[in-house]
Amino acid sequence: MTIKDTPQEWEIRATETPFVGNKTSVRTDDVVMPDGSVVHRDYQVHPGSVAVLALDEEDRVLLINQYRHPVRQKLWEIPAGLLDVPGENPLHAAQRELYEEAHVKAEDWRVLTDIYTTPGGCDEAIRIFLARDLSEAEGERFEAEHEETDMEHARVPVGELVRRILAGDLHNNCLVVGVLSLVAARGGDGLDALRPAAAPWPARPFAS
């Protein structure tokens, strides 16, 4: 048995979209089960996202603190954003988000990990990049709006983040998965063995 996620699509008898929002929508599919029964499956349709674990020369991760209304909390997170343009190169989107949210650029980019956030109820796919060799971006700072106007920034050592994740102090999925993946990669084949930034991403195919 090979432990690897594989594409598969069960028969859909009917589908409708009862809600269409600004960036996402809700879809209802009538799906044929292996026993022949048909069930309704409601899920959020999402364009996909990218996130950036930016690691500086002092082994600190760049964090942002942002209000998240659905959970009624201000969360510490890593820079992230939507794939606004269909087929957009995820590396370009990640570089844009790092600039807009932190006014930082990076010279070394790798794919850290790819995840589905909540595959039981949403088709959102996220690619988390590792960015190193950081420096301040050139030009004017991006003008923030909405929740981002209240955003705070910090740089926190990797070891402290691991402790706070395991203590239940930090909850953002990209931060948790990114930091623990970083530690796992270091304990395995090393960061230079990570996939290149342009590695294929079947969940969200893109042009080179």
Residues serving a catalytic function are: 148
Report how far residue 83's alpha carbon sits from residue 172's, in angstroms, rounded to the nearest whole number: 19
Q: Are strands 125-136 and 49-54 parallel, antiparallel or unpaired?
A: parallel
User: Residue 153: phi, psi to the nearest 5?
Assistant: -125, 150
Helix 173-187 and helix 158-166: axis angle, to 10°? Answer: 120
Closest CA to 90 of 56, 143, 139, 52: 52
Closest CA to 169 of 181, 156, 182: 156
Place of tokens 């909390």: 73
Give the chain's count of helices (H) and strands (E): 3, 11
